[in-house]
Amino acid sequence: QIFRPDNFVFGQSGPGNNWAKGHYTEGAELIDAVLDVVRKEAENCDCLQGFQVCHSLGGGTGSGMGTLLISKIREEYPDRMMLTFSVFPSPKVSDTVVEPYNATLSVHQLVGNADECMVLDNEALYDICFRTLKLTTPSFGDLNHLISATMSGVTCCLRFPGQLNSDLRKLAVNLIPFPRLHFFMVGFAPLTSRGSQQYRALTVPELTQQMWDAKNMMCAADPRHGRYLTASAMFRGKMSTKEVDEQMLNVQNKNSSYFIEWIPNNVKSTVCDIPPTGLKMASTFIGNSTSIQEMFRRVSEQFTAMFRRKAFLHWYTGEGMDEMEFTEAES
């Protein structure tokens, strides 16, 4: 059991995929209870690094209430890092009609309130399961396994000793050239399915290669269609820092056209001594690439198409939202 039972906060109703309900009406009723729990936990910390929020942007709760929670925590702890793992609506795997609305309204909030957003999307995760892990019917458990591997990799430096440590703030400093550009693509290597532990030892070059591979990215944007502003790699396990640095330089020299030339030394690597359970070595990749705009462009096109015809707007205005909010978010 990971969480204390009295730290769970429950609501009686669901927002029904409606952002306004999650953000203004039903989410707002619950938010104080949530903040109380957060405050209790935060007071127990001696050196609070930041907050991690995992949510989806397609539904009502994750997007509406998630962004409300983020902005409230922002008010209370303005100097702490805000890290989100946001599941974007994906092009092929869609479950509600109003996903573009919810996602656009949320991104509008995230741009202002979050410090770092790891962009995930279900379609890319399914692809990894089909292609790399050769699973025929991936469950949500399998998708979550991939996400959890990445989440663990991002924060491993805070939790374990290492030769070259970093924390969330250092990560942000190295990855964000302009405050609004904090939406990252994440990848993980070696990709293994849940029961099969790694049977062969990996080498640093193999890890590096798999990590930079476009098929490895957990969101449906192809890094080869854009350029990397910055990138960061976290290696875990027993390995020499020299080898890591050589491999990373190697990647940059061979694919120099994919890196922005006006940010020198824009790839950072960290090395942490303790590998994840069952693996000898692992690496996590975080890239700030211009190709992430594919995701936003796709959502925004769907948003515009619906908003022009004012489709489904009454669900939102009925909860007290204004059309102006939509126009503002769209920009």
Q: Which residue from 126, 89, 121, 109 is spatially nearest to 306, judged by alpha carbons? A: 89
What does the block give as tokens for 259? 């890196």
Q: Tell me if 289 sits within 8 A of 226, measured CB to CB.
A: yes
- Per the model's pLDDT, the better-predicted residue between 327 and 173 turns out to be 173
DSSP, res 164: B
Q: Tell me if 101 sits within 8 A of 19, measured CB to CB.
A: yes
By mean pLDDT, which of 18-22, 89-93, 264-268, 272-276 is the weakest?
89-93
Asked if pLDDT for residue 103 goes beyond 80, the answer is yes
What local confidence, expressed as pLDDT, does residue 58 receive? Answer: 81
- Alpha-carbon torsion, ordered 111, 112, 115, 119, to 10 deg: -20
Position 316 confidence tier, pLDDT thresholds 50, 70, 90: confident
Average pLDDT along the chain? 82
* Strand ranges across the sheet with 281-289: 50-56, 81-88, 116-121, 183-189, 281-289, 228-237, 267-272
- Percent of the chain past pLDDT 90, that is, above it, reads 0
Alpha-carbon Rg of the chain, whole angstroms? Answer: 20
What local confidence, expressed as pLDDT, does residue 258 receive? Answer: 85
What local confidence, expressed as pLDDT, does residue 298 receive? Answer: 83
DSSP, res 174: H
Position 327 confidence tier, pLDDT thresholds 50, 70, 90: confident
What local confidence, expressed as pLDDT, does residue 331 receive? Answer: 56
Asked if pLDDT for residue 195 goes beyond 70, the answer is no
Give backbone dihedrals phi and psi of 202, rounded to 5 degrees, phi first: -95, 155
Give backbone dihedrals phi and psi of 51, rounded to 5 degrees, phi first: -125, 145
Mean pLDDT of 59-74: 87
Position 20 confidence tier, pLDDT thresholds 50, 70, 90: confident
Q: Tell me if 291 sits within 8 A of 119, measured CB to CB.
A: no
Q: How confident is the model over 127-168, as pLDDT tens digits?
A: 888 887 788 888 888 888 888 888 888 888 778 777 777 777
Which residues are 282's β-sheet partners?
Answer: 236
Q: How confident is the model over 48-58, as pLDDT tens digits?
A: 888 888 888 88
Asked if pLDDT for residue 44 goes beyond 80, the answer is yes
- Cα distance between residue 279 and residue 271, in whole Å: 15
Mean pLDDT of 69-98: 84
Domain 51-326: top CATH class: alpha beta
- Cα distance between residue 185 and residue 59, in whole Å: 21
Name the pairing type of β-strands 116-121 and 81-88. Answer: parallel
Mean pLDDT of 296-321: 80
Whole-model pTM: value is 0.82
- Cα distance between residue 79 and residue 66, in whole Å: 19
Domain ranges of the chain: 51-326
Asked if pLDDT for residue 329 goes beyond 80, the answer is no
Query: Rounded to whole angstroms, what are the CA distances from 55 to 86, 232, 256, 269, 290?
Result: 5, 23, 34, 27, 23
